[in-house]
Amino acid sequence: MKFGPFGTVLRWKNRAPLPSLRLLSQLHSRSSFGIAFDIDGVILRGRVPIGGSPQALRRLYRDYGALKFPFLFLTNGGGIPESRRASELSELLGVNILPSQVVQGHSPFKNLLKRFENELIIALGKGEPALVMSEYGFKKVLSLDEYASYFKNIDPVSQYKNWTTEKIFNSKANTKDLVPRYDLLSDRVKAAFVVSDPVDWGRDIQVLCDVLRSGGLPGQENGPQPPLYFAADDLEYQAAFPSERLGMGAFRIALESIFNRIHHNALEYTSFGKPNPFVFKNAEAILRQLQPSCHDGYFMDNGNTDSNSFETLYMIGDNPLVDIRGTQKAGHPWFSILTRTGVFKGKENHAEFPADLVVDTVEEAVDYILKKE
C-alpha cells in the first residue's frame, strides 16, 4: 500500500504498507496545478514554433516521454479533427500530444449531438468542417461548399472567382454532375455551424443569409431562423503575418450587420470559444482526467473526485480580450499569464484586462510555473 495525493491510499500489488511522506509530498505537488496553452501567438506563429515552446513543453514530460504535469492546448482555432491537430503539434513541437490534450473552438459542438444528430446541418470554414462534425457523430452534415454547389446561381459572382475550392465530398466529379445526398429542395437546414475561419466571405454571407432568413431552405419565403453557432468570436488573432489578422468574430460582425439590414428580425446566434467561462470549466474537467497519467502508475481508489482538484490552473495566452478576459470570467483557480509573442506586445500590463503575470515568452511562463510549484 502506498500513499497518494491528499492522504489517498494507493494499492499496489498487495504489498505491505510503505508510508512515505516524501512520496506524498511529490505526488501532491504534481497534482496541485495544470496548464492551458493558447497556440497561435504563444506556441506557434503559422507553423513555426516561437518563444522557446518546444523546450518549454519538453519540461512537462519525463525523460522517457510520459506526461509529468497535466496540460492541454486551449485554442479558438480549428477546422480539422482534434486527432489530426494533435499529430501536427507532435511533429512540430517534438513531443507526444494526445488528442485529449487538444481543445479547439469547435470542440463543444459535440455537446449538441443529441439535438442535431439526425438533422440536416451545414458546416463552414477553412479545413474540413464537415469532417469535423461527422467525427463528432452528426449523421447529415454538408459543408457549405457542397451545399451551395447544388443551388444554381446562389453565388452571383462565382464565375469571376479564379481560385478553385477542393471538393472533399467528390473531388473527381464535375459540379453539374453532382447528385445531392439529401433532398435539398424539401429538406430544410436545421442548424448552421461556423467551425473555423470562413474562406469565401462574400459567398458564405450570401448563402447563410439565404438559409437563415428562409427558415432553412434558400429561395423560399421567410421562415423561423435555424440556430446558428460560432466556434469562437475572436476579432483578431496572430498568424504568420507580422500584424494581426481578422478572425471569426470579424466575420460574425459582417454577417450580423448585413442580416439585420435585410431581415425584419435581428440575427440570433451562440458563440463558443474563449472568453466563454464554459470553455475554461470544460478545460478544467479534461485536465482532471489527465492527472492520473502523470502519476507513474499510481492510482487512487477512494472515488473522491475532490481529491484531484487543482489549487491553480494557469492559462498562458497572447490575447488580453480573449485569453485574459476569459480567465478572469472563469475565476478561481485560474491564473492568467500574458505573453508578448502574439497579439499583445505592450511593455506594461494590459489596461482593461490585466493579466496576473506578463512575460516575454511561453518559455518564461513555464519557468515561472515550475519554480513556483
Asked whether 169 and 130 are in contact (CB, 8 A), the reply is yes
Strand duo 236-237 + 245-246: pairing: antiparallel
Residue 302 CB coordination number (10 Å): 12
pLDDT, tens digit, 9 for 90 and up, residues 27-54: 444 559 999 999 999 999 999 999 999 9
Query: Bridge partners of 45?
Result: 48
The distance in angstroms from the start CA to the end CA of the chain is: 27
Mean pLDDT of 67-96: 97
Q: Please name the residue that has the C-alpha cell 459535440.
A: 110
pLDDT band for position 183 (cuts 50, 70, 90)? confident
Query: Which fold would CATH assign to domain 33-105+275-295+306-372?
Result: Rossmann fold (3.40.50)
User: Looking at residue 221, what is its pLDDT?
Assistant: 81
Residues of the chain with CATH 3.40.50.1000: 33-105+275-295+306-372, 107-271
Give the number of residues written for the chain.
373
Q: How far is CA 156 from CA 126, 145, 178, in A?
A: 21, 15, 19
pLDDT cut 90: percent of the chain above it: 76
Whether pLDDT at 202 is above 90: yes
- Burial class from Cβ neighbours inside 10 Å (0-12, 13-18, 19+) for residue 329 reads middle
Mean pLDDT of 125-150: 96
**C-alpha cell, 152:** 444554381
Q: Looking at the domain covering 107-271, what would its CATH class be?
A: alpha beta
Mean pLDDT of 118-128: 97
Whether pLDDT at 10 is above 80: no
Q: What is the dihedral of CA 151, 152, 157, 158, to 10 degrees?
A: 80
Whether pLDDT at 303 is above 90: no
Whether pLDDT at 19 is above 90: no
pLDDT band for position 164 (cuts 50, 70, 90)? low
